[in-house]
Amino acid sequence: MLYRSRVGLGGAAIALFVLGPVGWAAANERLVIEPFPRSSIVQQVVEESVDHGVVIGSIRRINNQLRAEREVRTTGELIRVTLEIPAGHDRTEAFLHAKRQVLAQPHRMLYFCEGRECGSSSLWANQVLGFARLYGPEDNQAYVSMRLDDEPQRFISLYAITRGNRQVFLHIDQFTPDQPVTEDLYPTPATLIKVLRADGSIDLPNADMTDPDSEATRTWLDLLNRALRTDMRMRVAVHGVQAPAFVQALVDRGIRDQRLEVGEPSPEVGIRISTL
C-alpha cells in the first residue's frame, strides 16, 4: 500500500466484472450507501485485486498526463456505481443524500470540492472515474472522498454532476483495500473550511492534548489554524474533554480568542469542531 502526493493515476485490473442483475444484487449488499430513491442504475462495475488510486486532492493535466495533487494508492476491491437521479431532484440533493450516510459512520474526511474548484469535469469523467457520461459543465459538479474506519476499512468517493441536458448523475466509488491503509491521512485546509461551512462540524478523532507534541495533534492544530486564517469571520466551538487545552493551543498559534469558544465536554476522546 502507498500514500503518494503529486503522482499519476492508473493501474490495471486483474479482474473486471460489468454486473448483470444477479451480480448487482451481490455488489449492492456490500455497498455502504443506499441509492437515491427511484434512481436508475446506468453503470455498475466491480474490479477485484485492482491497483487503484483514491483521489484526495486537486487534479490537472500536465504534459498530457493526469496528475493528482494527492492520492491513496493500494490494491483491493473497487465497486463503481453510477445512478441517474429522477427528474425534479437536483445534484445537491442527491449528493447530500449519499454524503450524509457516510458522515453518520466513523470516518475521516479527506477531500471536498465543488464547481470550478474541482477542475476539469472531462478529467473526472474520463480519467478518474472512467465513465464519459459523467462529463458536464464545471460549475455543476461536486466531489468528496472519505475513509470509513469500520471493519473492513473502506474509501468512499462521490461525484455528482448536472449535465448540459439537465440530467443529474451521482457516481459512487467504494474501495476496500486488501490490507488497511495505516498512514495518517488528513484533509487539506481548504477542505477543512469547506466542511465546516457545509456541514457545520468536523471530528478530529486522534487529536490528543495529553500529548500536544504528537504528530497527529500538531497536524490538526496547524490545519485548523491555516483554515481559520482563510476565513477571518468564522467563529468555532471546540468540544471535548480536552477542549480548553486545544483552544489555548490555537490562541498560541495566533487565532484571536474571540473567535473560539469551549463547547460541550464530549467526546471523551478526540476533538469536535463546530461553527458558531
- Residue 57 falls inside a structural domain: yes
Q: Does the structure show a pLDDT above 50 at 9?
A: no
Same-domain pairing of 193 and 173: no
Backbone φ and ψ for 97, nearest 5 degrees, come out as -60, -45
Over residues 111-121, the pLDDT tens digits come to: 999 999 999 99
Whether residue 183 is contained in a domain is answered as no
Domain co-membership, 141 together with 195: no
- Alpha helices (H) along 158-214: 189-199
| CB-count exposure of residue 248 (10 Å: 0-12, 13-18, 19+) | middle
* pLDDT single digits (tens) 131-165: 999 999 999 999 999 999 989 999 999 999 999 99
Residue 184 lies in a domain: no
Average pLDDT, the chain: 89
Domain that holds residue 69: 2-177
C-alpha cell of 214? 504528537
pLDDT at 225: 97
Q: Would you give the DSSP letter of residue 63?
A: T
Burial code of 41-59, b = ≥16 C-beta within 10 A, e = fewer?
eebbbbbbebbbbbbbbbb
Distance (Å, whole) CA 235 – CA 208: 22
Regarding whether 149 and 41 lie in a shared domain, the answer is yes
Residues 126 and 208 in one domain: no
Q: Examine the domain organization and report whether 136 and 249 are in the same domain.
A: no
CATH number at residue 250: 3.30.1330.60
Q: Is the domain of 118 the same as that of 64? A: yes
Q: Are residues 195 and 170 in the same domain?
A: no
Vertex 28 angle, CA 27 and 34, to 5°? 150
Whether residue 105 sits in one domain with residue 44: yes
Q: Domain of 79: which CATH number? A: 3.40.1000
Q: Using the 3D structure, point to which of 133, 151, 177 is the last residue of a domain.
A: 177
* Identity of the amino acid at 266: S
**203 and 80, same structural domain?**
no
- Residue ending a domain, choose from 177, 208, 242: 177
Residue at a domain's end among 145, 177, 209: 177
Number of structural domains in the chain? 2
- Answer yes or no: do 247 and 169 share one domain: no
Summarize pLDDT for 19-35 with one digit per residue, the tens.
Answer: 444 445 556 678 999 99
